[in-house]
Amino acid sequence: MFGDVIMAEVGATMVGSIEQTFKGSFANKGEEKGYFEFGGSTVVLLFEKSKIHIDEDLLINTAKGYETTVKMGERIGEGK
């Protein structure tokens, strides 16, 4: 439904390390894949073109230059 998805962890200031606990090629939604140690960080998701429709509220905030915090399990869009 979503096509291939790339998840890239980005360690921010004061991040000691990114611990990868998952072993394998594919993780299921909600499974632990790893965690950040000490400090704030982010995760970047890359989707195949035309495979996902991003929710309108996120698009509006982005157009206004606002950062939107999204927590695990929160909806960001739907597959096409």
- The number of beta carbons lying within 10 Å of the beta carbon of residue 77 is 16
* 22, 35 Cβ separation under 8 angstroms: no
pLDDT given for residue 33 in this prediction: 86
pTM passes above 0.75: no
pLDDT given for residue 39 in this prediction: 63
Break the chain into its structural domains and give their ranges. Answer: 5-79
pLDDT given for residue 40 in this prediction: 62
**pLDDT one-digit tens code per residue, 6-64:** 988 887 666 677 788 988 888 888 888 888 777 666 788 999 999 999 999 999 999 99
